[in-house]
Structure 1
Amino acid sequence: MLTIPKELPAGFEAYGRSTDFTPDNLPARLQAAHSTKAGTWGLLHVLEGKILYQLEAPFEGEQLAAAGEKIVIESEVPHRVKFVERGRFFVEFYRKAELTPG
């Protein structure tokens, strides 16, 4: 059984960020099963309220996060998010750092 990671893999760096989402602008596609593309991990930052992050079959697991907490989103693992309490969050996207020729 897959568990939700507690931290990003070593050697990954941020390369992008979503807009801030609220219950009023959270797209339906994020509330339904979806996943990141191959090689992309996410870090969901809860700014206000509470979010429920749920893995989709064949995986099992969920994590409740409140303001100030983060949820690690593993590459290509189907999941969905929903507000449990009104608030705001964003997702930061990560990929393996490129080696710089030295």
Structure 2
Amino acid sequence: MTEVLPYRSTPVFDQDTLPAALRTRHNTRAGVWGVIRVLEGTLKLTYLDPPSELLLTPDKPGLVLPQQPHFVTPMGAMMMRVDFYDQSPPAEL
């Protein structure tokens, strides 16, 4: 079985360097899944359609489906990055 790997990852951002574009409504492109990985601290992931929120931690990454509108909010000091996949990432993330 072939391992599914991200084709691109963002730099690691902290609560100060997290771009404004990620803090406001945005979405992935068609055919692109995003996995938000928190390396330290806590990050709130807000999905807009359908509306819901998740608290992401180093043990709990967040999955963003293709074209799913969302934004993130740091919950204090944190470090995170986003891995992008061109197919559904493995269930164990």
TM-score normalised by the chain length of structure 1? 0.77
Alignment match of 2:35 (pick from 11, 24, 43): 43
- Matched-pair contact (CA < 8 Å) for 2:42–2:75: yes
**Inter-partner Cα distance in structure 2 for 1:13 and 1:37:** 18
Structure 2, unpaired ranges of 5+: 89-93
Q: Displacement, 1:68?
A: 3.1
- Are residue 82 (structure 1) and residue 73 (structure 2) matched? yes
Deviation at 1:24, TM superposition (A): 1.1
2:17 alignment counterpart: 25
Q: Deviations over 1:9-36 (max 9, x none)?
A: xx95420100001111111111000000
Among all aligned residue pairs of Structure 1 and Structure 2, give the percentage whose two residues are the same amino acid.
Answer: 29
CA deviations 1:59-87 (Å, max 9, x no partner) are: 21110012232111111010000111211
RMSD, matched Cα: 1.8
Question: Which 4+ residue blocks in structure 1 deviate beyond 6 angstroms?
Answer: none
Structure 1 unaligned residues grouped into runs of 5+: 1-10, 98-102
How far does residue 55 in structure 1 lie from its aligned partner after superposition?
1.0
Structure 2: how far apart are the matches of 1:54 and 1:86? Answer: 18
Q: Separation in 2 of the partners of 1:69 and 1:31?
A: 19
Separation of aligned partners in 2, 1:53 and 1:12: 23
Q: How many residues align?
A: 86
Q: What residue identity is the alignment partner of 1:78?
A: P
TM-score relative to the length of structure 2: 0.84
* Residues in 2 aligned to 1:65 and 1:16: alpha-carbon distance in whole angstroms: 20
Greater Cα radius of gyration, structure 1 or 2? 1
